[in-house]
Structure 1
Amino acid sequence: MSDGPPPHRALLPDGRLHLQDGPIDLVIGLEGDRAAVLAAREAAWRSLHGVLAGLIEELPLLRAPLLGRLPELRHPVARRMAEAAWPYRAQFVTPMVAVAGAVAEHVVAAIAAIPGISVAHVNNGGDIALHLSPASCLRVGLMEGPEAAGPDGLAVIRGDGAVRGIATSGWRGRSFSLGIADAVTVVALGAAQADAAASIIANAVDVEHAAVIRRPAESLDPDSDLGGLPVTVDVGALPPELAAMALDRGTACAEALLGRGLILGACLRLQGQVRLSGLLALGDEVSASHS
């Protein structure tokens, strides 16, 4: 299969790089000496060329649920996706659960190979891959949901720590969710890991109530990897105790993933209530604050 036309690229007014290829839409921030930044922009653009075509070629396997063994995938991004989803194979999961984070991770790896880059962040629709030198730090806003006017919390990620991936999932995001979380933000060793875990935890934030409306995924998108599974399309006002119960279920899931070493921290939000786990609660390698 041909790699197709090269990705669109443009510089944003603030100096960040915008790369777009079909549904892949990246915003990339870079810090370093000028020559390194110019080389990193080129490396990022080149690394994205052919990714979409490669994933489309293996799409049947990427949309199939993981079962007894890892699928034999050729593209490095496809393999990242499957490896990030693999720990959750005891439940219904496909490699698509980690697609955004895996693409961001692929691009940041190309950037990290350029000497002289101190900070790089590749944002793929809210799933972010990081490259940080040991002396650097990055401040990341925490949002209550995609409709929020701006962040109401802050995570400070230090370069001498372990966090290199951030992802957010929830029923109001761009991907379908089985749960009712407004937003679940996860920090992890990598973006693909964070992407998969954020979806799994967001699915666990759940209760049954008349205010929760669900529809089969395939009725909303015939190509969805979730098939006939009921996904959340609306969540009305819940009794505070039920919202707390849903968050408790999600927090239990997050704590279990922390225990397995699959994530480093999580922030769960639902209708004004917040739960923090791991580094986001302890303020160790990541310090978090909320207004």
Structure 2
Amino acid sequence: MMRKPAGFERPNARLLADGRRLHLSHGPIDLIIEADGAPAEVTRAYRQAREAFETILHDLVRELPLLRSGNANRPRGTVARRMHEATTPYRPEFITPMAAVAGSVADHVLANLIAGRVLSRAYVNNGGDIALRLNEGVFRVGICDDPVTGAAGGMILVRPDDEIGGVATSGWRGRSHSLGIADAVTVLAPNAAKADAAATMIANKVDLPGSLRIEREPARKLAPDSDLGTRLVTTGVENLTRAEIATALDNGETAATGYLERSLFKAAYLSLAGDRRTLSPASTITQNADHIREEPVCA
């Protein structure tokens, strides 16, 4: 979900204290970027990322009514088109392009970051939704089981030949509203926009429709500009029985399996109340959280 920032302040760019990572922010968009390569190549890459970032928020705000409506018309902006393309495969189920906004922004900045540059590794982290390019080595990140506690429940291990270019996480405890009750659903896909859309859809399906143990409110009551309109979003989940947890995860896994069979993503990790399900190549996601040193990614 994106709100128009007051005053449309200028985009900000700065190197973080470690001297390696670039921080870009503008209104609700907050990116952490890192590129590995020769110093001159990294400097040029960061300049390209800053230039690409300048107009993203303004361009998106111009098309927000269309992006929030779920209208099938194709938007004009580059990032908006990425959002539209990532979410179109899930129609006629309910979805709007806003389901892929964070991943699409990350993909756009990454594409400009690496254009014409010689880099061994690069990533753009947009609040937990990550676009990455890996030419050598391994990319590791801890999976966030619970955005409230920040607990890590697993490990993502990506290698260059895995054809994974995006990681995204969704759930009712995260930054955006969810129709389901998943604590977290993390998805790996060819790009971050596709991962973002798939994570949103799978998280919506981890659910117990009609259960009195789940508190829900109309989305527009919580956020008047929500693309979810009057649909009920999760605001609280009471203690669930083991059978209820299993049923909710079964629902999510069934939906995820269908999306996986259509090649809409590469791997997924579903978490609810300490129970987990994984749809993944054995070497890509592990549920063993022991000795995870990487900071878990929470959306």
Gapped regions of structure 2 (runs ≥ 5): 1-7, 290-299
Superposed, which structure 2 residues align to 1:1-291 within 5 Å? Answer: 6-14=10-18, 15-66=20-71, 70-133=72-135, 135-207=136-208, 208-279=210-281, 282-283=282-283, 286-291=284-289
Contact 2:154 2:285 in 1 (8 A): no
Instruction: For 1:31 and 1:99, locate their aligned partners in 2 and report how far apart those are by CA, in whole Å.
Output: 26
Instruction: Name the SS of the counterpart of 1:234 in structure 2.
Output: strand
Question: 1:155 Cα shift?
Answer: 1.0
Q: Give the CA deviation at 1:46.
A: 0.8
The 8 Å contact of residues 147 and 173 in structure 2, kept in 1 or not, is answered as: yes
Counterpart Cα distance in 1 of 2:74 and 2:214:
38
Retained in 2: the 8 A contact 1:155–1:289? no
Which has the higher mean CA deviation after the structures are superposed, 168-177 or 21-30?
21-30
C-alpha contact 1:140 1:154 (8 A) present in aligned 2: yes
Partner amino acid, structure 1, of 2:192: A
Aligned-pair CA distance for 1:6: 4.4
**TM-score (normalizing by structure 2):** 0.90
Q: TM-score, normalised by structure 1?
A: 0.93
| Structure possessing the higher relative contact order (Cα contacts under 8 Å, 6 or more residues apart) | 2
Q: Give the drift of 1:289.
A: 4.1
| Alpha-carbon contact 1:146-1:173 (below 8 Å) kept | yes
2:74 touches 2:84 (CA, 8 Å); kept in 1? Answer: no
Using the alignment, how far apart are the partners of 1:145 and 1:9 within structure 2? Answer: 30
Please give the root-mean-square deviation of Cα atoms over the aligned residues, in Å.
Answer: 1.3
1:117 partner SS: coil
Residue identity over aligned pairs, in percent, reads: 47
What is the one-letter code of the residue matched to 1:10? R
Q: Distance in 2 between matches of 1:223 and 1:90?
A: 22
Aligned-partner Cα distance in 2 for 1:103–1:275: 28
Contact 2:121 2:133 in 1 (8 A): yes
**Are 1:98 and 1:192, in contact at CA under 8 Å, matched by a contact in 2?**
yes
| Number of residues of Structure 1 aligned to a counterpart in Structure 2 | 280
Q: Give 1:287 shift.
A: 4.4
Q: Is the 8 A contact 1:36 1:114 kept in 2?
A: no
Which residue identity lines up with residue 112 of structure 1 in the other structure?
I
User: Which amino acid counterpart does residue 63 of structure 2 have in structure 1?
Assistant: E
Q: Which residue identity is paired with 2:219?
A: A
CA distance in 2, matches of 1:131, 1:290: 25
Residue range with higher mean Cα deviation, 144-153 or 243-252: 144-153
Question: Is the 8 Å Cα contact of residues 107 and 192 (structure 2) preserved in structure 1?
Answer: yes
**Cα distance in 2, alignment partners of residues 273 and 23 from structure 1:** 32
Q: Describe the SS at the equivalent of 1:152.
A: strand
Runs of 4+ that moved beyond 4 A: none
Q: Distance in 1 between matches of 2:11 and 2:96?
A: 26
* Structure 1: 5+ residue stretches without partners: none
- Deviation string for 1:44-75 (max 9, x for gaps)? 11111111111111111101124xxx413111
SS at match of 1:20: strand
